[in-house]
A and B are shown apart, each in its own frame.
Chain A
Amino acid sequence: MKKVLVIEDDESIRRSVGMMLRISGFEAFYAENGSIGLQLAQQSMPDVVICDIAMPVMDGYKFMEELKKNSTTAKIPVIFLTAKASEEDIQKGKALGVNAYLTKPIWPADLLKAVQEQIGGSTTVA
Chain B
Amino acid sequence: MHEDSPQERIEELERRLREETERRVALEHEISKIKVQFETQLSQRTDLLQEVIGQLQKEIAQRDEVEGKLRQRTEDMDTFIQQLKYEMDDRKNVEQTLRLSEERFRSVIENAPVGICVIDAHGMFEYLNPAYCLIYGYLPDDLIGESIMDVMPKTKHDEFYKAYSGVFRGEDSLQGEWEMLTNNGELVTVLMDAVSFISSDVQTGNSADGETKKLIIFALDITERKRAEDMFKRAKVVIDQSPAVIYQFAHRSGFPLEFVSDNISQFGYAPSDFIAPKLEELWYVHSDDRATFMNSFTGLRAQNIDHLRREFRLKTRSGLHCWVEDNIVASRDENGKITRYQGVLFDITERKKAEEEISKALEKERELVQLKTRFVTIASHEFRTPLTSIMLAAGILNDFGSMLTPEQHTENLLLIREGVEHMTQLLDDLLMFSRVDATSMAVNYTTFDISSWCEEFAHRIQNTMGRAHDFEYSVPQRECSYTGDESLLKQMLERLLSNAFKYSPERSTVRFDVSYDEQFVAFTIVDKGIGILQEDVVRIFEPFHRGANIGNIGGTGMGLAILSKLVELHSGTIQVQSSLQGTVFTLALPLTLQITIPNSTRLEHVSSHNN
Which residues from chain A sit less than 8 Å from chain B, CB to CB?
10-13, 15-17, 19-20, 23-24, 32, 54, 56-57, 83-86, 103-109, 111
Contacts and interface: CB of A to CB of B under 8 A. Distances in A.
B121 interface: no
Contact of B381 (A32, A54, A108): A54
B548 A16 contact: no
B296 to A, nearest CB: 41
Contacts of B388: 10, 13, 83, 104-106
A104 B393 contact: no
Contact of A108 (B399, B419, B552): B399
Given A23-B403, A85-B384, A105-B390, A15 B415 contact: yes
B577 interface: no
A56 B396 contact: no
B411 interface: yes
B392 A106 contact: yes
A3 to B, nearest CB: 20
Contacts of B380: 83, 85
A11 B386 CA distance: 11
A10 B385 contact: yes
B387 A105 contact: yes
A12 to B, nearest CB: 4
A96 B438 CA distance: 41
28 contacts: A10-B388, A12-B389, A12-B415, A12-B418, A13-B385, A13-B389, A16-B396, A16-B412, A17-B392, A19-B396, A20-B396, A23-B400, A23-B403, A23-B404, A32-B551, A54-B381, A83-B384, A103-B384, A104-B388, A105-B384, A105-B391, A106-B392, A107-B395, A107-B399, A108-B392, A108-B395, A109-B395, A111-B392
B298 interface: no
Interface residues of B, number: 30
B408 interface: yes
Given A20-B396, A104-B385, 6 more contacts: A10-B385, A83-B384, A85-B380, A85-B384, A103-B384, A106-B391
Contacts of B387: 104-105
A16 B386 CA distance: 12
A109 B391 CA distance: 11
Residue from A10, A24, A86 whose CB has the most chain B CB atoms within 10 Å? A10
Contacts of B552: 11, 32
Residue from B384, B386, B548 whose CB has the most chain A CB atoms within 10 Å? B384
Given A19-B396, A108-B396, A83 B381 contact: yes
Contact of A109 (B399, B412, B415): B399
A84 B408 CA distance: 29
B394 to A, nearest CB: 8
Interface string B247-261: 000000000000000
